[in-house]
């Protein structure tokens, strides 16, 4: 039987390695290293079937494992399955844990991928620069779900969910979770500890405007959204307006649905066209284009039938893209700014909430919780 090709990240003195080095082993070690950069390079160049990484390996974090699994290799964390700390580390890194013996490795490889994607779904809300109310849409979509929802304020430029929902000033829950994810210590329990309960059934990861730190931790955001799937039926990711950077693009690409918010004006259409050309390849799942603020002064420049003009502009986005209109509602905006809370609490009868309740499904129907459904 052909041996399985392996690249190893571990101390050369690790006891579990010795049996694997034998010539009659069912595993063929292509490279051993103690350096994470060399490990990533070796996996990329040699294309092994399996990567074994010791739980004590320096640099074994979510970003490294994301790079390793991106090559198509199966990654296993080698440690002690009986130790809670090792099991928690494997869970946070989203890889299988084995004891390093030939039998343990083979058993882990025979199992389905560890921690399959949770049953919850992720919706990303984003849009071109100048798009009105992205955070308002994200907050209220989360508030209108049928059960507990996680809301992540991932806007690196002007995070505002804490202000909109009345969360007192405190350290960023998102930054705390990202830092834990970077070193491989984030799991479902610690993730929930980073979330602030607001407005009944919303769990909010408060954002941060520290762009430099956010960018340095960018590789961890997709890890958080995947763990969040296991904690809530719906996770809403507020990405803010402007171009998607490495910070948010990877998480948006893994989302089940993307709501693209745009301004219903001539300038808004122009910005959307440029934004769409750049980012359409990243958008996956159900994509819905939302024109927010229809009825305002800027819409008049679109002609006698602005809705028809917006429908034509939406058609240019291509087939399979949803289309929705939200009305301009100064009463709703004032209520949220004044009372700090979702519309179902501060202005339950407003036009904007009615528009949100009428949105088409923003994610695949397989989800137990439909974002557009209301209590």
At 368 the pLDDT is 38
Does residue 245 surpass a pLDDT of 80? no
**Burial of residue 213 (number of CB atoms within 10 Å: 0-12, 13-18, 19+):** middle
How large is the average pLDDT for residues 56-73? 78
Q: Which residue did the predictor score with more confidence, 23 or 263?
A: 263
Confidence of residue 167 (pLDDT cuts 50, 70, 90): confident
Does residue 114 surpass a pLDDT of 70? no
CB of 257 within 8 A of CB of 363? yes
CB of 190 within 8 A of CB of 196? no
3-state secondary structure of 138: helix
pTM, entire model: 0.71
**Distance (Å, whole) CA 163 – CA 144:** 19
Q: Which residue did the predictor score with more confidence, 12 or 363?
A: 363
Which secondary structure element, helix H or strand E, spans residue 76, and what is its range? Answer: strand 74-78
CA neighbor of 78 nearest in space, from 177, 129, 7: 7
Could you tell me what percent of the chain has a pLDDT over 90? 38
CB of 237 within 8 A of CB of 225? yes
Tokens of 120: 């919850």
CB of 204 within 8 A of CB of 163? no
DSSP state of 116: P
At 366 the pLDDT is 52
At 143 the pLDDT is 93
**Distance (Å, whole) CA 294 – CA 98:** 56
Enumerate domains of the chain plus CATH numbers. 4-110 (3.40.50.2300), 121-357 (3.40.50.300)
CB of 174 within 8 A of CB of 240? no
DSSP state of 348: T
At 84 the pLDDT is 83
Tokens of 106: 């083979």
3-state secondary structure of 91: helix
At 371 the pLDDT is 43
Residue 164 backbone dihedrals phi, psi, to 5 degrees: -60, -35
At 211 the pLDDT is 84
Does residue 206 surpass a pLDDT of 90? yes
CA neighbor of 97 nearest in space, from 172, 83, 352, 320: 83
CB of 280 within 8 A of CB of 243? no
């Amino acid at each position: 039987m052909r041996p399985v090709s392996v690249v190893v990240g571990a101390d050369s003195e690790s006891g579990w390695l010795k049996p694997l080095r034998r010539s009659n082993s069912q595993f063929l070690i292509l490279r051993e290293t103690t350096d994470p950069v060399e490990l990533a390079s070796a996996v990329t160049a040699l294309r092994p079937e399996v990567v074994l990484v010791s739980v004590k390996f320096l640099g074994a974090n979510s970003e490294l494992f994301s790079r390793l699994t991106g090559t198509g290799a199966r990654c296993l964390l080698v440690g002690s399955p009986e130790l809670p700390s090792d099991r928690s580390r494997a869970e946070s890194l989203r890889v299988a844990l084995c004891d390093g013996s030939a039998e343990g490795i083979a058993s882990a490889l025979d199992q389905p991928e560890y921690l399959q994607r949770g049953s919850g779904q992720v919706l990303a809300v984003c849009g071109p620069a100048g798009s009105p109310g992205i955070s308002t849409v994200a907050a209220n979509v989360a508030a209108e779900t049928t059960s507990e929802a996680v809301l992540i304020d991932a806007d690196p430029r002007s995070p505002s969910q804490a202000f909109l929902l009345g969360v007192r000033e405190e350290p960023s829950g998102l930054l705390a979770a990202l830092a834990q994810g970077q070193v491989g210590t984030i799991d479902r329990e610690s993730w929930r500890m980073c979330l602030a309960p607001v407005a009944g059934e919303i769990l909010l990861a408060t954002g941060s405007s520290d762009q430099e730190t956010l960018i340095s931790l960018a590789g961890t955001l997709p890890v958080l959204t995947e763990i969040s799937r296991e904690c809530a039926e719906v996770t809403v990711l507020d990405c803010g307006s402007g171009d998607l950077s490495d910070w948010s693009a990877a998480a948006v690409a893994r989302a089940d649905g993307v709501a693209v918010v745009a301004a219903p004006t001539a300038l808004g259409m122009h910005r959307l066209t440029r934004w769409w050309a750049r980012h359409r390849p990243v958008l996956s799942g159900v994509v819905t284009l939302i024109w927010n603020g229809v009825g305002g002064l800027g819409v008049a420049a679109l002609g006698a039938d602005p809705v028809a003009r917006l429908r034509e502009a939406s058609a240019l986005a291509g087939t399979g893209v949803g289309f929705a209109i939200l009305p301009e509602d100064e009463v709703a905006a004032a209520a949220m700014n004044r009372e700090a809370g979702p519309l179902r609490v501060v202005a339950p009868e407003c036009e904007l909430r009615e528009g949100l309740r009428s949105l088409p499904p923003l994610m695949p129907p397989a989800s137990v919780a439909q974002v557009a459904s209301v209590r």
